Copies of this chain bind each other. A is one copy, B any other.
Amino acid sequence: MKNYIQKDEWNIIEEGFDPALNKISESLFSIGNGRFGQRANFEESYTGDTLQGNYVAGIYYPDKTRVGWWKNGYPEYFAKILNSANWIALLIEIEGEQFDLNNCKISNFKRILHMKEGYLERSFIAELKNGRQVKVNAVRFCSISDTEIGAIQYSITPLNFSGTITITSLIDGDVKNKDSNYDEKFWDEVYQEVKDEQAYLTLRTKKTGFDVCTGISTSFFCKREKLPIKSEAISRKKIVGNRIQQEVTEQVEYTIYKYAAIVSSENYERSELINACKEALKRATEKGFENLLEDQNQAWKKKWEESDILIEGDTAAQQGIRFNIFQLNQTYTGEDARLNIGPKGFTGEKYGGSTYWDTEAYCVPFYLSTAKQEVSKNLLLYRYRHLPKAIENAEKLGFVNGAALYPMVTINGEECHNEWEITFEEIHRNGAIAYAIFNYVRYTGDHDYLIDYGLEVLIAIARFWSQRVNWSEEKQQFVILGVTGPNEYENNVNNNWYTNLMATWCLSYTMEVLTYVAEHSPTAYQNLLQKTNFNRETETSRWNKIIDKMYFPSHDKLGIFLQQDGYLDKEQILVKDLDKKHYPIHQNWSWDRILRSCFIKQADVLQGLYFFEDNYDIETLRKNFDFYEARTIHESSLSPCVHSILAAKLGNEERAYEFYLRTSRLDLDDYNNDTQDGLHITSMAGTWMSVVEGFAGMRVRNNKLHFNPMLPAKWTSYSFTIGFRGSKLNLSIKKSLIKISNHSEKDLIIVIRDQEHRIAGKTDIEVSSFKVKTDEG
């Protein structure tokens, strides 16, 4: 837990430089544009504690698996997002001394992430060992309007001397992943070129053979005039650049503009790569820094119009939610169905891979409401494209007949996780992938998706469940043995309620969609039957049997569903009664102790109740919430948001707010002492959900948006914009008033607290507000 980021509604601000916090700030001040991104490393040399990180979306390396004890079925490789060429490097020598903040006296240090405008700024005054003082202001961004471009404006003013400075502007491709299993470097050089102010470097990943070409152009200005300096070429293995020497005058500001272009073989033919890079760089240099930044501001303005949440009366909460929205929009822009949302985005290496079930469970809802439909559709198509690999994956584990098990972690569709209790057993992820299809169609009404892609995925998933259950002679019911539920503080359990629920729901939903497709597109239906070799009668007859006879652990007296068989045999201790010295238990307890404790890492039964709340009466929700919430220790970043939403649903504003704060400032306040490794990108979507689905109670029922708003006591008001089936509306919730603005031309029907309202195009309505305790109230 840290508290050094200044509270501000639109900016993330660090004042003063503390080297011990540098890696945390490098994560927090990360910038990206969906196509590439980077940690907030310094441009100049820094010999202090730092984690260098530059990442290009979709470019990965399959690192050879490292395990202690091999289990049959483990994947041989773990696909990792690569640390790629560093294009920001501006090494500066001042009067013969390497400029390095680790060796300077620093004052007036300030780092600002301008979230509204989408750029990073850093300024400070530094005194070198040789006594020379300089003032620096550095601005940089990854363009979201032209996603092949990055730009830096680095201004330096000699404060107490005139003399010589040397600037070495580099592309440094001699980088490696800190998490490399066998300490290998993953890149080979295939091309380099240095010419005048420009340098180009093409690197190729080993094994996967991705080419990434980076180009830079560096120029030196004084008083808005470009200085006519001849630069010296730097050309070493995997490192290229230009060196400039310049006499500088005391108290005069000099500015370096460095533009970068980054293109990859994912988007160009290899043979076209260098030309594409040169063209992108030309676009950047021709436009110039100020215009590029203006474009950036405009592009971000549009993003914020779509996705901002305004909170009044609570700066910390306002900053938290905006930080989350900003980082999500930096990570994934949704134009490319080959990409997905890595758990750390472009802010760190940890966890490798890029896609967990987080995407389906937490991120899809955010993009559904705040971006055009194509964005969430692309997230779904990502899985559709991986279906053949998911079928292969299931075959590897002994499944047959086109059953699919989607990987726990993946980049290219292949599993790249290697803990048996997760890789092989945390199979509920398959349910989340089906649920995302359901959720997407429920929100968008895009039933064609089911016909074109959805049903094929659903059949394969249903087949998996149909084979994964087994009949218990003893129980005379179907059971699902040996699983790990969402609560990863249990491994290899029997009859995880959530998993059993998802399994039967998948079967039901697939049958529902089968009927829909058969009715609405008989040809597509027939083609699919053939393609998947699907025998509707025999296969669905087993599915129906399973649905009829599935076993669900529960406890009548307590009125709860049981997380799994035997859960009540555990010693029942509440989290509130656990001495805080044990927190976090995953750092203080051995794994077996965690496993046999009743403590829950993240929503499990409650995740199921969140997904399907309409199937349960409020009393059931309350009993389960009260029971499980008391035992949940929230050591996953994905945990608080679901609890916040359920607490809001149950009218428990205090708890809902408490959970909200925990999720929204998780990284800003470094709750879990791990922000230095990178940000928790996917859980950021959960924060958005806490406000929109939690406090505002948004649901989609029968093709209509429903709201059931509450206002946290601390807030004066909050408002947000939602896109829904071509309409755009803004909700503003105040103590006394709920205002809904229909920004679209056409009429909109929404339901507020079970009361339907029609809002004509381009008009507002106001509904008087009152505090609602529960859904019943």
Q: Which residues of A contact B (CB under 8 A)?
A: 65-69, 71-73, 396-398, 418-421, 424-425, 470-475, 479, 481-482, 491-494, 565-566, 568-572, 586-593, 595-596
**Which residue on chain B has the smallest CB distance to residue A562?**
B474
B471 near A590 with CB under 8 A, answer no
> Are the C-beta atoms of B481 and A596 separated by less than 8 Å?
yes
A84 shortest CB reach to chain B, Å: 24
Cβ-neighbour of A68 out of B68, B397, B592 (below 8 A): B68
> Are B591 and A474 in contact, with the CB atoms below 8 A?
no
A-B contact pairs, 24 of them (CB 8 A): A65-B68, A66-B67, A69-B418, A72-B586, A72-B587, A72-B588, A396-B590, A398-B590, A398-B593, A420-B592, A424-B590, A425-B592, A470-B569, A470-B596, A472-B570, A479-B569, A481-B566, A481-B569, A482-B592, A482-B595, A492-B492, A492-B595, A494-B566, A565-B566
Q: Which residues of B contact A68 (CB under 8 A)?
A: 65-68, 418-419
Copies in the complex: 2
Kindly list 16 other residue pairs between chains A and B, CB separation below 8 angstroms, not including A72-B590, A424-B590, A481-B570: A66-B68, A71-B590, A71-B591, A72-B586, A72-B587, A398-B589, A424-B591, A424-B592, A472-B570, A473-B568, A479-B569, A481-B569, A482-B596, A492-B493, A494-B569, A565-B566
Q: Is the CB of B494 within 8 A of A492?
A: no
Q: How far is the CB of A403 from chain B (nearest CB, A)?
A: 13
A319 to B587, CA, bound (A): 54
Q: Which of A473, A479, A492 has the most CB of B within 10 A?
A: A492
Q: Which residues of B contact A589 (CB under 8 A)?
A: 72-73, 398
Bound CA–CA A188/B481 (angstroms):
51
Bound together, the chains give a CA A68 to CA B475 distance in angstroms of 37
Say whether B590 contacts A397, CB under 8 Å.
yes
A569 to B475, CA, bound (A): 7
Nearest-neighbour CB distance to chain B for A406, whole angstroms, equals: 15
A419 to chain B, nearest CB (A): 5
**A427: nearest residue on chain B (CB-CB)?**
B592
CB distance from A516 to the nearest CB of B (A): 33
- Chain B residues with CB under 8 Å of A587's CB are 72
CB-defined contacts of A482 to chain B, threshold 8 Å: 592, 595-596
- In the complex, A53 Cα to B482 Cα: how many Å? 40
CB closest residue in chain B, given A492: B492
CA distance A69 to B67 in the complex (A): 8
How many angstroms from the CA of A568 to the CA of B596 in the assembled complex?
22
A481 CB contacts on chain B under 8 angstroms: 566, 569-570, 596
Q: Flag if B569 contacts A474 (CB, 8 Å).
A: yes
Smallest CB gap from A594: residue in B: B72
Q: What's the nearest-Cβ distance from chain B to residue A570, in Å? A: 6
Which residue of B420, B424, B473, B569 contacts A472 across the interface (Cβ within 8 Å)?
Answer: B569
Closest B-chain residue to A568, C-beta based? B474
Q: A474 — nearest CB in chain B belongs to which residue?
A: B568
**Residue from A68, A69, A420, A587 with most neighbouring chain B CB atoms (10 Å):** A68
Contacts of A593 in B (CB 8 A): 397-398
Identify which of B420, B474, B572 contacts A473 (C-beta below 8 A): B572
Question: Judging by beta carbons under 8 Å apart, are B474 and A592 in contact?
Answer: no
A615 to chain B, nearest CB (A): 26
Residues of B within 8 A of A588 (CB): 72
The complex places the Cα of A530 from the Cα of B712 at a distance, in Å, of 60
Chain B positions within 8 Å of A418 at CB level: 68-69
